[in-house]
Structure 1
């Protein structure tokens, strides 16, 4: 008897087809994870509706294609038969449940809710005449309740392994009762298939966690490489990459591109009088204020810390004339938001230089050198000023100096 059981386990679970399906499932989940993380990095709740809709439709499409690919691979491995169908079913259930935790959008929710009527649509009419229809209805309602609960409580469930395992068990049990109604296998097999599903899910989840950790590590490295550690905005390295891209894109185009460079007036005095920690707070205050105001006013500009107390803003599709009132508003917001630190009120002002990319510029450096020159014209004219293509504006007096 033990030999028969061992032989059955070897034939059903430890064979080449099982290994192939497992590897394919891991591969599909890896692809889904990469796509989901890549899309979620580009959207947020504040993103336009059409962008969020496109991202969610893409995620749903990738999930649907993964299910179809898994089905086709299973049929190829089994020469079109349904032998070892438990293997294919558990693989699909694993992907469905995993995506509920990973993607968390309404398209994924609806795919899970409608899947019992899609995976085997030829049975939809026959179920009405099946004596076990009440079991199907009860199990389907139970499945929908579990799926909705997971959708609403995903973040809380991810922090509890026991809750995750419990809901995973209920999810698998509901599905295997539905499959039992459709395929009429011995009911005791439900327990076997459920155990296999839990083992399968554990293997896949372990591999998926490693993929997620790799993605998070990559994201952390991206942040370290491209963002300034002190202020949190884009850094010099990111600017260098962006500069090459925008020069190639805008140099031969009629669409304007304008660069603004500014730095903090009397920054050395902050360091000398109050210490370098205060100087760092001033830098963060300026960066965060400018970034916040640019976001709230939707200026479409990109803010970079060039180095020291110097910053750069790149405005795509805008002329210097269009950027001048934007820069004035940014400067006014900073002046009207003093920094209070250790009982001290610190008034911070900044000086600007602005110039547009020209056809005669042989590289981005030509534009940068011109903007840098205009910035120093503003500082040499008394600071707290803006120089636009050689003309200096005094923010307080509102007049143009030659």
Structure 2
């Protein structure tokens, strides 16, 4: 019997189509890994919900796209036939299981749970009267249990080789029983498919592990270099790099470029009265509120932490007059989203300075110095104010 299984594997999988599918699967895994690590480095547990949700939804879309892409390539290679479908199915199962380990969010969990009802003829209502319906339901519930366990125990599974292997076997077994109910192939094929699935997972895991190690090192370096550890927004180093890149463009174009600089009024008092930990919460609250509001209103501004309690927003293609109502909306969003610490409401206000890149500016330093002067003009005028090109406005007065 083992000889028969081995011959079956060799004849079914050691051919040009299997090589193409394997390479495509590795390619899709590579794309998924790069996308996941590129997106995940932009969010943290402290990131606003809308930002985390957007990233997770996009990761789910990438996973779904990979499933469709693999299906289309398989049908092209087989001229629309489902012959040799075990190869294609194992490739998809490999991606599904790999993403369970890599992308740890509820979107991936939901896709894994719903996938049996999207697979081949799984939505065939004739099964409801089929004698194999109980076996399908039992196998499906078993799959859901395995998927849920993998989702909640990913770290423990990855740290134990034998647990990882057992979960692979159980995941593949539950899937192939489900497919057997729909396609009624010989039961011995389940063993065949499981062996190939484990081989696939071994190859993919080796390739992905090397890729992940490279991506982790790169993303850690990128995060440290470009993003503020406390607030999660772009940092001073990222700002310096960005301004160097865009100055040469906007200084010679008629397209406007506007800078808004703001800081938190009386920030030192938060640290002195409540402690530096509360001061950190104030900084995070202000940064997250600004990012969320710009995202929801499509303000198209880039937020940077300039240093201490000072932040900068770069608006590309907008004049100061166009930025004025945006800044007012940002300030009002902060006022309407108070921060509560231990049941106590903290009143947080900010002051702004706004100016655009002028033809006489020899560098961004000239623009920064001017915006900084406008910011201090707002503060010296009583704080909680906005100065646009030298004209100061009180936020509290229309």
TM category, shorter:
0.5 to 0.7
Q: Secondary structure at the match of 1:119?
A: coil
SS of aligned partner of 1:303: strand
User: Counterparts in 2 of 1:254-333, with a 5 A limit?
Assistant: 257-259=259-261, 293-297=282-286, 298=289, 302-304=304-306, 313-316=311-314
Q: State whether residues 259 and 371 of structure 2, in contact with CA within 8 Å, keep that contact through their aligned partners in structure 1.
A: no
Q: 1 CA distance for matches of 2:172 and 2:227?
A: 44
Residue in 2 that maps onto 1:199: 199
Q: What's the CA shift string for 1:279-328, capped at 9, x where partnerless?
A: xxxxxx99x997654223356662346xxxx9974245788xx99xx9xx
> 2:157·2:163 contact (CA, 8 Å) conserved in 1?
yes
The residue that corresponds to 1:25 in the other structure is: 25
Count of residues paired in the alignment: 327
Q: Deviations over 1:349-371 (max 9, x none)?
A: xxxxx784453552312134557
Deviations 1:129-166 (A, max 9, x none): 33322221111110111112222222333322222221
What SS does the aligned partner of 1:195 have? helix
* Bigger CA radius of gyration: 1
Q: Distance in 2 between matches of 1:228 and 1:104?
A: 24
For the residue of structure 2 that corresponds to 1:44, the secondary structure is coil
Q: Runs of 5+ in structure 2 lacking a partner?
A: 264-274, 292-302, 316-322, 332-352, 384-398
Pairing 1:67-78 to 2, within 5 Å after superposition: 67-78=67-78
Q: SS of the counterpart of 1:79?
A: coil
Q: What TM-score, normalized to structure 2?
A: 0.68
Classify the secondary structure of the residue corresponding to 1:141: helix
Cross-structure match for 1:329: none
**Contact 1:117-1:124 at 8 Å conserved across structures:** no
Counterparts of 2:211 and 2:20, CA distance in 1: 19
Residue matched to 1:366: 366
2:8 and 2:213 map into 1 onto residues whose CA distance is: 37
Does the 8 Å contact 2:304/2:312 carry over to 1?
yes
Matched-pair contact (CA < 8 Å) for 2:236–2:305:
no
TM-score, normalised by the number of residues in structure 1: 0.67
Residue 10 of structure 2 is matched in structure 1 by 10
Between stretches 75-84 and 171-180, larger displacement belongs to: 75-84
Runs of at least 5 residues in structure 1 that lack an aligned partner in the other structure: 262-284, 327-353, 375-385, 396-402
Q: 5 Å matches for 1:85-234?
A: 85-121=85-121, 124-223=124-223, 225-226=225-226
Structure 1 residues 84 and 359, CA gap change in structure 2 (3 angstroms): same
Matches of 1:290 and 1:245, distance apart in 2: 33
1:224-265 deviation per Cα after TM superposition (whole angstroms, max 9, x unaligned): 544799xx997764332132367567997778524479xxxx
Q: CA RMSD in A?
A: 4.1
Aligned pairs for 1:53-64 within 5 A = 53-64=53-64
Retained in 1: the 8 A contact 2:257–2:356? Answer: no
